[in-house]
Amino acid sequence: MRALVIDEEAKAKAARVVAYAKAHPYDPSPGTDSAVAIPGENPKHVAELNSFRCVFTHTYSHDAGAYFRHLTISVPSKDYPNPFAAYTIAELFGFTGWNGHSVDPPSGWQIAVNKEEHCIVLAQKL
């Protein structure tokens, strides 16, 4: 079992990344400045919460014509974060709508497992 500690330091790390993401929206479309930058390689998009590596952006989707909160969470093993940990972390990054106890995906959240990058991916329309 992996421990997730949500203390003032964790809240401050998440708040720092959220503030940066809001000020620097990510547009992965070809030809944009952010298309060549990988958020996970920019420490301003990354928060390390214990052994959970969190990469957060405000990402523009041209298909949807909207911005999304976009969060990837990985851990240093062959495992993935459990849903409760992932949802708890997502709330730190501004995701809304989780009831605080269910492992069912919250309404309006898109959730996927990225096996190539070995992470959980969460998105919510802003």
The mean pLDDT of 103-112, rounded to a whole number, is: 94
Alpha carbon distance 66, 48 (integer Å): 27
- The per-residue pLDDT for 78 is 87
For the full predicted model, state whether its pTM sits above 0.85. yes
Every domain of the chain and the residues it spans: 8-125
Two structure tokens written together for 107: 């309404």
What is the three-class DSSP state of 36?
helix
Side-chain half-sphere CA neighbours of 16 within 13 A: 14
Higher per-residue confidence, 116 vs 69 = 69
Handedness of CA 112, 115, 120, 125 (dihedral sign): negative
How much of the chain, in percent, has pLDDT values that exceed 70?
94
Q: Dump pLDDT digits (tens) for 7-60.
A: 999 999 999 999 999 999 998 877 766 656 789 999 999 999 999 999 999 999
